[in-house]
Chains A and B, each alone.
Chain A
Amino acid sequence: MLCFHVCAGEIFELKAELNSDKKEKKKEAVKKVIASMTVGKDVSALFPDVVNCMQTDNLELKKLVYLYLMNYAKSQPDMAIMAVNTFVKDCEDPNPLIRALAVRTMGCIRVDKITEYLCEPLRKCLKDEDPYVRKTAAVCVAKLHDINAQLVEDQGFLDTLKDLISDSNPMVVANAVAALSEIAESHPNSNLLDLNPQSINKLLTALNECTEWGQIFILDCLANYAPRDDRESQSICERVTPRLSHANSAVVLSAVKVLMKFMEMLPKDLDYYGTLLKKLAPPLVTLLSAEPELQYVALRNINLIVQKRPEILKHEMKVFFVKYNDPIYVKLEKLDIMIRLASQANIAQVLAELKEYATEVDVDFVRKAVRAIGRCAIKVEQSAERCVSTLLDLIQTKVNYVVQEAIVVIKDIFRKYPNKYESVIATLCENLDSLDEPEARAAMIWIVGEYAERIDNADELLESFLEGFHDESTQVQLQLLTAIVKLFLKKPTETQELVQQVLSLATQDSDNPDLRDRGYIYWRLLSTDPVAAKEVVLAEKPLISEETDLIEPTLLEELICHIGTLASVYHKPPSAFVEGSRGVMHKRLPARTGSGESTESPDVGTIAGGSGTETAPSIIPSQGDLLGDLLNLDLAPPTTTGPPPPTSGMQMGGMDLLGGGLDSLMGAGFGAVPAVMPASLNAPMGGGLGDLFDLGGGVGMPLGAYIPPKTVWLPAMKAKGLEISGTFARRAGVIQMELTLTNKAMSVMTDFAIQFNRNSFGLAPAGPLQVLSPLSPNQTIEVSLPLSTVGPVMKMEPLNNLQVAVKNNIDVFYFSCQYPISMLFVEDGKMERQVFLATWKDIPNENESQFQIKDCHLNSDAASNKLQASNIFTIAKRTVEGQDMLYMSIKLSNGIWVLAELRVQTGNPNYTKSMNKSHLKLF
């Protein structure tokens, strides 16, 4: 409250001047009083003195006194009565300007006692011969209604007001319409306006003749009318369209509102409908050459119109290009509309502009421009690639907020086009350190978790975030939790500690219930049923929709009815910001803001919806056991609320994690097969590790190389009835993909084709998929597909992962499977002894790794023979201190050599302990 205290001396002086005999002095004094009043000084003490000045024939002085009265009458109701006589007298004055002034001012004095005296003069003024008085009296009815609604009804002023709609003077009509509309808002069911074809006709006639403001009142009122049929609707539209050429933007927008609303009733095949659509575009564009504030209002409305009827402005993209000197609020709104209008036809231009904007100065604008590029990628599929490369260019600028914004939108692009642009992940990881905003951090964490298998150091990256876990925002914490659980499910061996850490941080040290709950859900999932956990957490996510930011359709319809008003500027229904009965009336729908909330944590949905899906193609056989074991090992209840009791009896308390993990891996992968072939590739090939062990299985087989049994890669549930199981084999130096296709659907399947994604060893089909006859329901067919290793190469995680697309007449299906590394061992893998020795020495120690294999019941010769069948060649053998040392070489199809040393302790046949040295070198 800004209030100045006027010192007594000043008041005293003013009092003296007000009571002066001289007219001029009096007037000056009242002016001073008003000036004090304006700046917030309290001059109410002068009330009687000022009111005394009212008895004058000087119109200017009178007006000043009235101004004072309007301000202070409420605080001094008793003294305000003193003024009544003058008012009543003035209402009879021969001068219409004075009559109008009196009735106008009386309406503004909100004192009950005065309103009683107001009724008679008002009744007279409503029927005054002068239109100026009538138009003022019409508004006065609305004022009186605001003070005492009952009084207005009892006195029958509403009927008089209704009569004024038929007045001969257009301005009287306009004000009567305005007053009635306002009164009607507080009486929703009164049918006060009683719009019927006759009265509509009168309004349309007055529309042509009244002032610009009057036209707005009438158009706004017309918009509430419901025409009886399409013909009436059309005739009203025809009479309203000329208003689109009015110089006043508000008249134009109100006319647009009427047209947008009544257009709904017109049949779309009507010629007039098309004409009307064409007529709407130019005036909307013209609004953009108005002053910036009006441009802003127009743009907010165009945003709605474009969502409702995109066809109107689809060719007008260029006018929404941002000008360098536009105020920021205009720029931001234009960007929004540009995205809404973006289509395949104009995307090149739009992208060029957006790139330009991303180098501007205003941070908010730049961010929005970057975000817009991402939205274009999602909206116009053809442009996705260009958008991604533009975003990468922007990331190279290293401008902090640009990078962060780019990462947030790239996350969305990944979700829209999975397996297409992941090659950019490396670039994103480079910028990890510069991310300081929660949204960007969360997006990056999501990416790392989602693609953990392709990011070598995913665990390190996530660990680095974990350090300051409690300082992060909830958004980041939740995302980090999910990402680490994903990582664990993908790379269980190396990340137990991490997952344990994050689960305990989330469940024990956090007081955020959301975080705690999610932590417990994961914990229990992982400990009770790891396979289910995998299905839930790593379930396929639904693609994100094109426009998550569209206004919800029912709200949009309501907002269209409010074109031009504040509701259309806020994009909220009036009830959201208007108090009292006025807001309630238009509330046809529950209040809800429409601006899209982007999916901040995409995993929440999958947790809820993921369970209950069919078993996914299991990537590592019987991985469930493995996970179970790991959990038993390390998640042994440290908490009071702890996870359920262990499901398996394995107790290996103090064992080192890696050893434990490997043991389980082997146990799971080999079962009882009595074989050993330990070999290891270096850390980056970690994923291939298990498969090298798989090889061990081959040793036990009498015939040639090891062929794993067929597993189901693509269940019928996921592929509209097509079930695919298969395996890989190496026969006569050729890699074969052996597939069993089963049609479990009701209809015949034809036109099979297959394609591989780029993969680590360049595997590609050497010929087309040979399915000659159509596959009828319940038929099964065996196909063998020869593979070559000359296809495009991209490193996968795990290394031996292969993403396959199979097409038939129904659809395209995607699945991924893993091939045994042994398949890639070529026949000419036997190295010369000399070369072997030389190479062995050259290989740096970092490339060496060692581990042990237990439970092998083979002597060294038998092992050597069996390994040879899988193209693992023994180069030399020596015996040292009762141990057999085998030196072996392997060559992969891409020319990589693996050198290995196998130690077999013959002294202990039951428990063969072997150490091995493995060397990797690229030739």
Chain B
Amino acid sequence: MIGGLFIYNHKGEVLISRVYRDDIGRHAVDAFRVNVIHARQQVRSPVTNIARTSFFHVKRSNIWLAAVTKQNVNAAMVFEFLYKMCDVMAAYFGKISEENIKNNFVLIYELLDEILDFGYPQNSETGALKTFITQQGIKGQHQTKEEQSQITSQVTGQIGWRREGIKYRRNELFLDVLESVNLLMSPQGQVLSAHVSGRVVMKSYLSGMPECKFGMNDKIVIDKAGKGGVTDDVAKSTTGKQSIAIDDCTFNQCVRLSKFDSERSISFIPPDGEYELMRYRTTKDIILPFRVIPLVREVGRTKLEVKVVIKSNFKPSLLAQKIEVRIPTPLNTSGVQVICMKGKAKYKASENAIVWKIKRMAGMKESQISAEIELLPTNDKKKWARPPISMNFEVPFAPSGLKVRYLKVFESKLNYSDHDVIKWVRYIGRSGIYETRC
């Protein structure tokens, strides 16, 4: 298991060091600094073996988090733990920066003591941790016996993510379907790979211990229902045949996985506040909101002509926002002239790219930019690698076609019903890695 955990600043000075096992000595702290942080070349692997000691590291801005071990540990678990550790710290004091870590070092030691015991990760749910570890110190000594046992049962319990006795005057929930659409397209417009990775994020302000059931236009469910009986025909006619094939999905630990496996129904008792209910991935019938058509022409050795057309491909009534097209330029660019029909375009020498920004664009429209790039003559034999043209945008629909069909809330002990809950649903599609080669 994890033998020790170190946090370094960008200079390699150690900010936090917590050793859990005897086989990890003080020299391990230095070994990582010398061999990884101060290493000359770029980091070639997130796992490094130095003198039979393995180091796992992740970096957040300029802070290094390293877990150390001498055993054959579960590597996936170590990384998941490091991410979790970052989440927990962020939940307590915001951004992970040198200053914040220095100011909260006692808190971090306390957290490390609680979430990692002898190198075994323990309960790391922020909600539960915050009930007894706070930035202002530890609650506990002033609590009543009932409160204490409530803490311990929550930390160790079946429903570790929610405490009893939550009360809201207004029962309300918000569902955000957040998708990022990823594309790699050849210069000829052929889709080399495309997928949507989506998340359903829920903010719940519900009283008691509500039992929830979530439904979406999952092809498997709808097909099954279609065969099932007459009653579901209504549902089918309203959703049409717009069911989508979900390649895979993963759920927050509150979802009963065995129930999903057997009935494909998503039922759970939600944590209080904001959390991620599920993640999913689709690859079929993706609506690609934009199409990028590049045209790069090399005129002699010192000039490059670039023309890029973007076409929006969704309902004319919808508006895409925050559109940004990034056209890479060679390293030896000396000057750029840009003409664009819409929005603003600028050559950013420090980023080696022309950045073209458009605030809003309706569906089924098209816009164009053309640029002349002057190049300095070089004797560098190596050709310019032509990085792909990338794009950012935000659209108010789900490119995968996912629709929320229902979210039902049952709370038998308290006297509110599903109808009393105010529900909000919102769809946002963003660009993930949306690239067209040129």
Given contacts A169-B157, A213-B77, A564-B77, contact A60 B138 (CB under 8 A): yes
Contact A577 B54 (CB under 8 A): yes
Does A294 sit within 8 A of B, measured CB to CB?
A: yes
**A175's closest neighbor in chain B, by CB?**
B120
Report the minimal beta-carbon distance from B29 to chain A, rounded to whole angstroms: 7
Q: Chain A 215-235, CB within 8 Å of chain B: the 1/0 string?
A: 011001000000000000000
Contact B257 A283 (CB under 8 A): no
Contacts of B435 in A (CB 8 A): 323-324
Contact B76 A298 (CB under 8 A): yes
Contacts of B231 in A (CB 8 A): none
Given contacts A216-B74, A282-B248, contact A130 B152 (CB under 8 A): yes
Given contacts A282-B248, A328-B44, contact A39 B76 (CB under 8 A): no
Given contacts A34-B106, A213-B121, contact A569 B252 (CB under 8 A): no
Given contacts A39-B13, A286-B248, contact A328 B42 (CB under 8 A): yes
Report the minimal beta-carbon distance from A608 to chain B, rounded to whole angstroms: 36
Report the minimal beta-carbon distance from A133 to chain B, rounded to whole angstroms: 8
Does A718 sit within 8 A of B, measured CB to CB?
A: no
Given contacts A40-B14, A291-B79, A577-B49, contact A67 B248 (CB under 8 A): no
CA distance in complex: A104, B20 (Å): 11
Contact B156 A319 (CB under 8 A): no
| Interface stretch of the complex, out of A239-247, A640-648, A649-657 | A239-247
Does A268 sit within 8 A of B, measured CB to CB?
A: no
Given contacts A172-B156, A246-B253, A293-B46, contact A285 B149 (CB under 8 A): no
Contact A324 B388 (CB under 8 A): yes
Does A611 sit within 8 A of B, measured CB to CB?
A: no
Contacts of B74 in A (CB 8 A): 216, 220, 250, 253-254, 564-565
Contact B106 A247 (CB under 8 A): no
Report the minimal beta-carbon distance from B141 to chain A, rounded to whole angstroms: 5
CA distance in complex: A562, B75 (Å): 10
From B16, B54, B77, B387, give the contact of A250 (CB < 8 A).
Answer: B77
Given contacts A250-B77, A321-B192, A586-B72, contact A1 B26 (CB under 8 A): yes
Most chain A CB neighbours (cut-off 10 Å) among B77, B113, B195? B77
Contact A2 B30 (CB under 8 A): yes
Report the minimal beta-carbon distance from A288 to chain B, rounded to whole angstroms: 9
Does A715 sit within 8 A of B, measured CB to CB?
A: no
Contact B156 A169 (CB under 8 A): yes
Does B45 sit within 8 A of A, measured CB to CB?
A: yes
Contacts of A296 in B (CB 8 A): 45-47
Contacts of A356 in B (CB 8 A): 437
CA distance in complex: A564, B80 (Å): 12
Contacts of B109 in A (CB 8 A): 34, 63-64, 67
Chain A interface size, under 10 / 10 to 19 / 20 to 34 / 35 or more: 35 or more
Contacts of B76 in A (CB 8 A): 249-250, 252-254, 294, 297-298, 564
Does B171 sit within 8 A of A, measured CB to CB?
A: no
Does A588 sit within 8 A of B, measured CB to CB?
A: no
CA distance in complex: A71, B26 (Å): 11
CA distance in complex: A353, B118 (Å): 46
Report the minimal beta-carbon distance from A175 to chain B, rounded to whole angstroms: 7
CA distance in complex: A205, B95 (Å): 39
Given contacts A241-B261, A565-B74, contact A95 B140 (CB under 8 A): yes
Does A187 sit within 8 A of B, measured CB to CB?
A: no
Contact A132 B152 (CB under 8 A): yes
From A216, A289, A291, give the contact of B77 (CB < 8 A).
Answer: A216
CA distance in complex: A239, B262 (Å): 10
Does A466 sit within 8 A of B, measured CB to CB?
A: no
Given contacts A131-B156, A293-B79, A318-B192, contact A208 B258 (CB under 8 A): yes
Q: Chain B 275-295, CB within 8 Å of chain A: the 1/0 string?
A: 010110100000000000000
Please report which residues of chain B, range 1-60, place their CB below 8 angstroms from some CB of chain A when the two chains form the complex.
1, 13-17, 19-23, 26-27, 29-30, 42-47, 49, 52, 54, 56-58
Q: Chain A 556-599, CB within 8 Å of chain B: the 1/0 string?
A: 00000010111111100010011100110010000000000000
Contact A2 B26 (CB under 8 A): yes
Does B155 sit within 8 A of A, measured CB to CB?
A: yes
From A38, A130, A397, give the contact of B16 (CB < 8 A).
Answer: A38
From A35, A359, A582, give the contact of B105 (CB < 8 A).
Answer: A35
Report the minimal beta-carbon distance from A40 to chain B, rounded to whole angstroms: 7
| Interface stretch of the complex, out of A139-147, A510-518, A786-794, A882-890 | A139-147
Given contacts A146-B22, A247-B253, A359-B386, contact A398 B193 (CB under 8 A): no
Please report which residues of chain A, range 73-95, place their CB below 8 angstroms from some CB of chain B when the two chains form the complex.
94-95
Contacts of A146 in B (CB 8 A): 21-22
Contacts of A294 in B (CB 8 A): 76, 79-80, 83
Does B117 sit within 8 A of A, measured CB to CB?
A: yes
Contact A132 B385 (CB under 8 A): no
From A60, A107, A579, give the contact of B118 (CB < 8 A).
Answer: A107
Contact B44 A96 (CB under 8 A): no
CA distance in complex: A87, B197 (Å): 51
Contact B122 A577 (CB under 8 A): no
Contact A63 B151 (CB under 8 A): no
CA distance in complex: A582, B109 (Å): 29
Report the minimal beta-carbon distance from B436 to chain A, rounded to whole angstroms: 11
Contact B247 A285 (CB under 8 A): yes
CA distance in complex: A97, B128 (Å): 14
CA distance in complex: A140, B388 (Å): 54
Given contacts A213-B122, A247-B279, contact A242 B15 (CB under 8 A): no
Q: Chain B 250-279, CB within 8 Å of chain A: the 1/0 string?
A: 111100111011000000000000001011
Report the minimal beta-carbon distance from B362 to chain A, rounded to whole angstroms: 29
Please report which residues of chain B, range 363-392, place their CB below 8 angstroms from some CB of chain A when the two chains form the complex.
381-383, 385-388, 390
Contact B29 A132 (CB under 8 A): no
Contacts of B42 in A (CB 8 A): 328
Given contacts A67-B113, A325-B433, A574-B72, contact A246 B251 (CB under 8 A): yes
Does A758 sit within 8 A of B, measured CB to CB?
A: no
Does B148 sit within 8 A of A, measured CB to CB?
A: yes
CA distance in complex: A252, B157 (Å): 22
Contacts of B20 in A (CB 8 A): 108
Report the minimal beta-carbon distance from A130 to chain B, rounded to whole angstroms: 5
Does A730 sit within 8 A of B, measured CB to CB?
A: no
CA distance in complex: A241, B262 (Å): 10
Contact B152 A247 (CB under 8 A): no
Does A135 sit within 8 A of B, measured CB to CB?
A: yes
Does B163 sit within 8 A of A, measured CB to CB?
A: no
Report the minimal beta-carbon distance from B2 to chain A, rounded to whole angstroms: 11
Contacts of A142 in B (CB 8 A): 118
Does B207 sit within 8 A of A, measured CB to CB?
A: no
Contacts of B193 in A (CB 8 A): 318-319, 321
Q: Chain B 137-163, CB within 8 Å of chain A: the 1/0 string?
A: 110110101001101110111101000
Would you give 20 A-B contacts (Cβ < 8 Å), ordered by A? A1-B26, A59-B140, A63-B113, A95-B140, A108-B20, A139-B118, A212-B80, A213-B122, A245-B248, A245-B251, A248-B80, A249-B76, A250-B79, A254-B77, A282-B247, A285-B281, A289-B197, A318-B192, A570-B49, A582-B71
The 4 closest A-B pairs by CB, nearest first: A282-B248, A132-B152, A250-B76, A242-B261
Residues in A lying within 8 Å of B, measured CB to CB: 1-2, 31, 34-35, 38-40, 57-60, 63-64, 67, 71, 94-98, 104, 107-108, 110, 130-133, 135-136, 139-140, 142-143, 146, 169-172, 175, 178, 182, 208-209, 211-213, 216-217, 220, 239, 241-243, 245-250, 252-254, 282-283, 285-286, 289, 291-294, 296-298, 318-319, 321, 323-325, 328-329, 349, 352-353, 356, 359-361, 364, 397-399, 562, 564-570, 574, 577-579, 582-583, 586
Given contact pairs A108-B20, A285-B247, enumerate 4 new A-B contacts (beta carbons under 8 Å).
A2-B14, A131-B156, A132-B152, A289-B281
Residues in B lying within 8 Å of A, measured CB to CB: 1, 13-17, 19-23, 26-27, 29-30, 42-47, 49, 52, 54, 56-58, 69-77, 79-83, 105-106, 109-110, 113, 117-118, 120-125, 132, 137-138, 140-141, 143, 145, 148-149, 151-153, 155-158, 160, 184, 186, 192-193, 195, 197, 247-253, 256-258, 260-261, 276, 278-279, 281, 381-383, 385-388, 390, 433, 435, 437
